[in-house]
Amino acid sequence: MFTLFFVADLPTTVGGSYEFANDDANHAIRVLRMQEGAEFMLSDGKGTWSQVVATEVKKKSMQVRVMDSGFQEPLATTITVVQALPKGDRAKEAIELLTEAGVDRIVPWASARSIGKGSDKFAVTAREASKQSRRFRIPEVTDLATTAQICEAIKLSDLAIAFHESATAKLSDQVSSHNVEHLLIIIGPEGGLTDEEIAVFTEAGAKVALMGRPILRSAHAGIAAVSAVSALLKVW
């Protein structure tokens, strides 16, 4: 598959010429050493894409010609993942993995046992991971959310699942319908969800499920949860 870059002013007219001149262009020229004749993809990060070929390469920009263009429709199920923030680089890793899993919205959560803090760099992480995973839609990364805000999100979803290592119900038993337009997945911190958090999430309408016998790190649990639920809902 062709290398993907994002631009704000995506060219879509087939045969048209466009100057590719942002930071991604600089990376393509200086790091990837792209030359005249190189073919790659450009996207606006909202589903629209164009396949282009480089016709002239300069020091910090390149002229390209649009060969094809199209729009990738979103999936029938919109996936939001609430991620309790782990500390240090594991927070960035969680954002990367969730982006690669194909989620539409990532909500960093200040849970009772969270150690990590929110960062305005998470959106950049999601953008870079979107390029790596060749997805035409960059997931939204919200501001740090409170438990009360998560409860409101649960009420607005068609299916909300909170994963907890002490749950007695298996995930497969908690998904009874494939008709889910808005899916919400809640991933707790390394120390797990508190009894109070489980209680308020359940009261708001969330189901509590066990992911499996092995206990995953918080940063890794999200991609496993998204994979499992996507398969059960036939999203994949």
pLDDT more than 90, % of the chain: 77
Residue 184 has pLDDT above 80, yes or no: yes
Q: What distance in Å separates the CA atoms of residue 24 and residue 138, rounded to the nearest whole number?
A: 15
Could you give the residue ranges of the DSSP H alpha helices within 85-235? Answer: 89-101, 122-132, 147-156, 171-174, 195-204, 218-232
Angstrom distance (rounded) from CA 100 to CA 92: 12
pLDDT score for 90? 87
Fold of domain 4-71: Ribosomal Protein L25; Chain P (2.40.240)
What are 153-168's pLDDT values in tens digits? 999 999 999 998 888 8
Please give the pLDDT value at position 118.
64
CA distance 100 to 108: 16
Give the pLDDT confidence score for residue 117 in this predicted structure.
Answer: 66
Angle between helices 195-204 and 147-156 (to 10 degrees): 30
List, by residue range, all CATH 2.40.240.20 domains of the chain.
4-71
Provide the token pair at 194.
């508190």
Could you tell me the pLDDT band of residue 85, with boundaries at 50, 70 and 90?
A: confident
Q: If pLDDT is split at 50, 70 and 90, which confidence band does 86 have?
A: confident
Say if residues 83 and 93 touch (Cβ distance below 8 Å).
no
The answer to pTM > 0.75 is yes
Please give the Cα distance from 219 to 164 (Å, whole number): 14
Identify the CATH assignment for 78-232 out of 2.40.50.140, 3.30.200.20, 3.40.1280.10, 3.30.500.10: 3.40.1280.10
Per DSSP, what are the bridge partners of residue 65?
17, 53
Residues of the chain within CATH 3.40.1280.10 domain(s) are 78-232
